[in-house]
A and B are shown apart, each in its own frame.
Chain A
Amino acid sequence: MPSSFLALTSFKDKYSTSPSSFQVSSGREVMENSVSLQESSLAPSNGTLGNSSLSPSIVTDHMCASALPHVQHSHNPAFISQSSRDLASLLPLDASFSQSTASLIHTQGNKDVSWSLDRLQMFLDLPENTPAPNQLVESSTSVLASEDHNKKTNWQEWADDLINVVDPDWSKILDNTNVLNPRVELPKPSGDISKQQPQFHQNQLVPHGEFSSHAYPSSTAPPTKPRMRWTPELHEAFLEAVNQLGGSERATPKGILKLMNVEGLTIYHVKSHLQKYRTARYMPETSEGTSEKRITSIEEMKSIDLKTSIGITEALRLQVEVQKQLHEQLEIQRNLQLRIEEQGRYLQMMFEKQKKVEDEKGGAPSSASDDLLAPLPGSKHPPCNNGKSDSEALEQDHSRTGIGPGNAGTNEDKSSSGVSTKQKMPETESTVHDESGFSVSKRARTEK
């Protein structure tokens, strides 16, 4: 199999409990280099493995091309494989994407995990079947959903068999792996699949990722996995449980899980969260002993960054000011964007209704407008007040002329999102009859 063998390892310094343990972390660095880095270091000691030859391979081009913000390099980038590790190779990919697919290995009983959460997530863009609490993302179904079932039970067994899941991020992967397999089956036939299935040990879990150009969900919805999304309330419950159990060091994930008693929360979620929590506590504690040194270094930093005459407090103040400003602007921008999209949706709905009505009635403008007037004002609530009045103006336009430039707002103030969209409406109305598609934006541009 001419696939390239790469093992992606991602890790974070503060997470490593031993020099040889790697875990996926969240960070902001881009991890392009690691792919090539691992290529040479991959020399798994497979001699002791009982299985037939398997080798890890990771998607290269596509993943390298995009920034992965949450993977960091650690000081020890070697790929460590141990005797109990089993490596599985996956299907070759379509040439348009890359030559290989990702394989991720998790072995029970050892702390070395080599994988990339990012990569996996890219593969796991299929609907997921396990619910998670507090998650705001609904999973959308894809064509592959129907095939999930036969594979689901397999993965559940593997997941259940895993006891020492060290890297808690795996949990999310594991929860989602049940949807991976069908993808593996779908595209280019490869004899490897059938060979690999029986190779799974009870102790091993190999989530397969497939990167194919053929298996696409037909819906336009982004196929999100219902990932665990923590909330402050949930965190409070977590803290309570931890404190009851005697502190972050003494509390065990299992105990916490039991105490929290939250439906849908898995031990993997708790594990990863506990890890984060421990790290967050550990750092300030270590710094307390060296607080004086820290302060002088902070002072130096600040004085280098910003003139000494300003002083730390002033530098901090300035920083806060600028940050506050950015926050404010972001809020404003986000609200604007929301309203713009809302208007766009409203517009489209109205155009579609009008089209539908015209198709049905076929040239009776006045009755068309009656139909329009009836459902719209009640069913939809425009985000701003002038939205309503303008929509009524539009409908009146329809009744008068069927199509034609209206008098919707002479307000040129573009900073009001609602008004600017209304302005376009009269111009675009005239185009609705010209083409069947709804291409407001295109027309608006050309008319401008």
Chain B
Amino acid sequence: MAAEPTKYGKAKAEFVYMLNNEINKFNVFFMEQEEDFIIGHKELQQRIKTVMDKWSSNGSRTEYNDEMAEIRNDIVDFHGEMVLLENYSNINFTGLAKILKKYDKRTGGLLRLPFIQKVLKQPFFTTDLVSKLVKECENIIDEVLFPIEEDKEETKEQKGAIMVATEPVKGIFRNTVVALLTMEEIRRVSSTKDHFSLPPLNLPHSHLIHSFQLNSPIPIL
């Protein structure tokens, strides 16, 4: 796109500059987290191996249980954090797309399409590695950590019902639920729907998710 030497051109350049700053921030944060996850993933695998080895050679059941319980907790949280990073990536992309769309609408410009093409290639949006780690994590969780089979669907609803009555949910779990709800909200039918918009979201167990009591992260005084 040629730079128009007009006031509009300058404003546009300013706008692009600011967008680029934001994108850089996303990239930096994302890659930092990604690096942490690569390390953490390996460490978790190592820990499991160590505990397994210790147990097979030593045989202390309680110690094994304790340590596995801890690992179990850590893995689930780790999984949650990675998914939240994916969410971060996606939300920011969605935000950029909306901003660009608004810009084009307001200024009659043609910035959106070429710019978003470049955004697609940015590190923060190329989440393949994180996705792969998440899947591997899920495998570990399924195979190693929850070997006890349980009765499924009917109790799930039951548990959900019990959940409703509890205290507000905190932490990674909370953020995950919020993320799902937000996604649902964003994709609800909007007035500016065009062929670039995402269709409405249909979540399985959405009533369950909606039933969680979520307190506000910012204390309202």
Q: Does B24 contact A (CB under 8 A)?
A: yes
CB within 8 Å for A318 and B159 given contacts A26-B36, A329-B180, A330-B87? yes
Contacts of A137 in B (CB 8 A): 27, 121-123
In the complex the two chains form, what is the Cα distance from A95 to B22 in whole Å? Answer: 20
Contacts of A281 in B (CB 8 A): 43
B residues neighboring A (CB under 8 Å) = 1-3, 10, 13-14, 16-17, 19-25, 27-29, 31-36, 38-43, 47, 66-67, 69-70, 72-74, 76, 79-80, 83-84, 86-88, 90, 93-94, 97, 101, 104-105, 108, 110-123, 126-127, 129, 131, 134, 138, 141, 146, 148, 156, 159, 162-163, 165-167, 169-173, 176-177, 179-180, 183, 187, 192-196, 198-199, 201, 203-205, 209
Between A140, A306, A437, the greatest number of chain B beta carbons within 10 A of the residue's beta carbon is seen for A306
B27 A227 Cβ-Cβ under 8 A: yes
Contacts of A444 in B (CB 8 A): 194-195
A220 B114 Cβ-Cβ under 8 A: yes
In the complex the two chains form, what is the Cα distance from A220 to B109 in whole Å? Answer: 12
B24 A124 Cβ-Cβ under 8 A: yes
Q: Does A200 contact B (CB under 8 A)?
A: no
22 residue pairs from A and B, CB less than 8 Å apart = A66-B25, A70-B28, A118-B25, A121-B25, A137-B121, A217-B17, A220-B118, A222-B20, A224-B24, A227-B27, A229-B31, A235-B42, A276-B35, A298-B73, A306-B166, A307-B162, A316-B72, A317-B146, A320-B141, A329-B203, A440-B195, A445-B194
B146 A439 Cβ-Cβ under 8 A: no
Q: Which of A66, A310, A314, A424 contacts B194 (CB 8 A)?
A: A424
B180 A326 Cβ-Cβ under 8 A: yes
Question: Which stretch of A98-106, A152-160, A331-339, A373-381 is in the interface?
Answer: A331-339
In the complex the two chains form, what is the Cα distance from A281 to B44 in whole Å? Answer: 10
Contacts of A232 in B (CB 8 A): 38, 41-42, 129
The binding surface of chain B is classed by DSSP as helix
B72 A329 Cβ-Cβ under 8 A: no
Contacts of A423 in B (CB 8 A): 195
A318 B163 Cβ-Cβ under 8 A: yes
Q: Which of B16, B28, B117 contacts A117 (CB 8 A)?
A: B28
In the complex the two chains form, what is the Cα distance from A331 to B20 in whole Å? Answer: 25
B196 A344 Cβ-Cβ under 8 A: yes
A340 B195 Cβ-Cβ under 8 A: yes
Shortest C-beta distance, B107 to chain A (Å), equals 11
In the complex the two chains form, what is the Cα distance from A136 to B156 in whole Å? Answer: 42
Q: Does A392 contact B (CB under 8 A)?
A: no
Residue of B nearest to A269 (CB): B35
Q: Which of A236, A304, A313, A441 contacts B195 (CB 8 A)?
A: A441
Q: How large is the interface on A (under 10, 10 to 19, 20 to 34, 35 or more residues)?
A: 35 or more
B138 A324 Cβ-Cβ under 8 A: yes
In the complex the two chains form, what is the Cα distance from A221 to B116 in whole Å? Answer: 9
In the complex the two chains form, what is the Cα distance from A142 to B31 in whole Å? Answer: 23
Contacts of B40 in A (CB 8 A): 280
Shortest C-beta distance, B191 to chain A (Å), equals 9
In the complex the two chains form, what is the Cα distance from A323 to B177 in whole Å? Answer: 8
Contacts of B165 in A (CB 8 A): 307
CB within 8 Å for A291 and B104 given contacts A225-B24, A230-B34? no
B90 A330 Cβ-Cβ under 8 A: yes
A220 B93 Cβ-Cβ under 8 A: no
Q: Does A1 contact B (CB under 8 A)?
A: no
Contacts of A118 in B (CB 8 A): 25, 28
CB within 8 Å for A333 and B43 given contacts A221-B118, A229-B123? no
Contacts of A410 in B (CB 8 A): none
B173 A319 Cβ-Cβ under 8 A: yes
Shortest C-beta distance, A310 to chain B (Å), equals 6
Residues 202 to 231 of chain A near chain B (Cβ within 8 Å) = 213, 216-225, 227-231
Additional A-B contacts beyond A66-B25, A327-B131 (6; CB < 8 A) = A70-B28, A217-B17, A219-B1, A322-B177, A322-B209, A330-B90
CB within 8 Å for A445 and B36 given contacts A216-B14, A305-B166, A306-B163? no
CB within 8 Å for A316 and B169 given contacts A325-B204, A336-B198, A444-B195? no
Shortest C-beta distance, A61 to chain B (Å), equals 12
Contacts of A218 in B (CB 8 A): 2-3, 13
Between A276, A281, A288, A325, the greatest number of chain B beta carbons within 10 A of the residue's beta carbon is seen for A325
In the complex the two chains form, what is the Cα distance from A231 to B80 in whole Å? Answer: 20
B42 A239 Cβ-Cβ under 8 A: yes
